[in-house]
Structure formats: structure tokens, C-alpha cells
Chain A
């Protein structure tokens, strides 16, 4: 059974650019959620995908968007990057939306 994997592990982007982060969910898990963790804080929910449909969204602007593919892998896209988008982005998968979440190692995004 493979765990949750994210790519890339680190990324540096310039303000105004766009970025795509990727997540492969754990085998057998059809639900993927994305979280943003700023330094020194707890993770904040961005959105969740269940069977390729958005299944909930946190308090993030529309320039944060996502996709889930038929194999349940997922992408997080952020447009018009701002300095405050610098954070650790975490992906979590669950077998169904109401079960325990398992997290990947995260992507550390730095916007300069």
C-alpha cells in the first residue's frame, strides 16, 4: 500500500506567477483535501475533492483552484501568487470523506 506523495517538495516562485502542486492519494482512497500551513500555525483547509467533484471549500479566494483525476490524484493550482502564499501545502487522502486522513510530506512554496 503506497502512502500519499506530493511533488515537488520545494518550490520558489515570483509574485504574480502561477503554480501547480501535485498529490497522489493513498491506494484505495477516493477523497483528497488540501491544506495551507503558514509558519508557526496549524494547517488551514483549502478544499476537498471526492470522486472528482469539489466537496467543500475553506475561506480561500478563487485564485486557489483544484482538480481530481479518475485515478484520484489531485492538483492544486494557485494563480497570481502573492507573498503571503508562501507556506507549506499539505495534501491528505481518506478512503471516504468521513474517515481518518493521511497526509503527504508537503510542498514548501516560497514566493519572492
Chain B
């Protein structure tokens, strides 16, 4: 099946800093989503982005499908941005395959 790798596994930032999270995948995909998992476990949709670039406030994402990677940018980070960020892809099978996540900690 499709493999998904996320980097870095852990990231610690000061409030106000910018960051870039990366997701590499091993095969062509029909669907790519970025999620933020809150401390209570719920996965919050950030972007549905099988290709191209999208922006939502301080967050933006870019997927280059031909090169099999996606980037999530967080600008002017806030303590509330802390948590685990997951990239998930859907290939030819009807399932989302998740990476192992990036644990982001934003310090005040």
C-alpha cells in the first residue's frame, strides 16, 4: 500500500515563529488532507488539497502531486496551534493512509 512520511516528527517553536511541515507519499493520490488533532483526540480538517495551493488565515498548504509531497505552512504561530498535525492520503484504495504525525509545541 501507499506509504506516507511526515517530517519533522517533533517541532518546538516560540510564539510568533513560522514553520513548515512536510508530507511525502510513495504513489499517486486522489485525495490528500491535513488535520490537526486536538488534545481531546478529535481530528480537525485543515485542508483538502490533492493538488495546488490553498490558504486559510495563518495556515496555507501546497501539494505538488507530480513530485509526491505536500507542505503545511503555519505563520505567526500561537500556543493554540500546539498539537499533532497529520497528513493523510487516499490512493487507489478507498481508505485514508495517515503519516505518523508532527508533534508541534508552541511556547509562550
Q: Which residues of A approach B to under 8 Å, CB–CB?
A: 33, 35, 37, 41-45, 48, 55-56, 58, 88, 90, 92, 97-106, 108
Contacts and interface: CB of A to CB of B under 8 A. Distances in A.
Nearest to A47: B95
B101 A48 contact: no
The B contact surface, by secondary structure, is strand
Given A48-B94, A48-B95, A56-B95, A42 B42 contact: no
12 contacts: A41-B100, A42-B86, A42-B98, A43-B86, A43-B98, A88-B41, A92-B96, A98-B31, A100-B48, A105-B41, A105-B42, A106-B41
Contacts, number: 60
B95 A58 contact: yes
Nearest to A106: B41
B45 A45 contact: no
Contact of B30 (A48, A98, A105): A98
Given A98-B30, A100-B33, A45 B96 contact: yes
Contact of A33 (B44, B95, B99): B95
B94 A97 contact: yes
A90 B90 contact: no
A42 B85 CA distance: 10
A99 B100 CA distance: 22
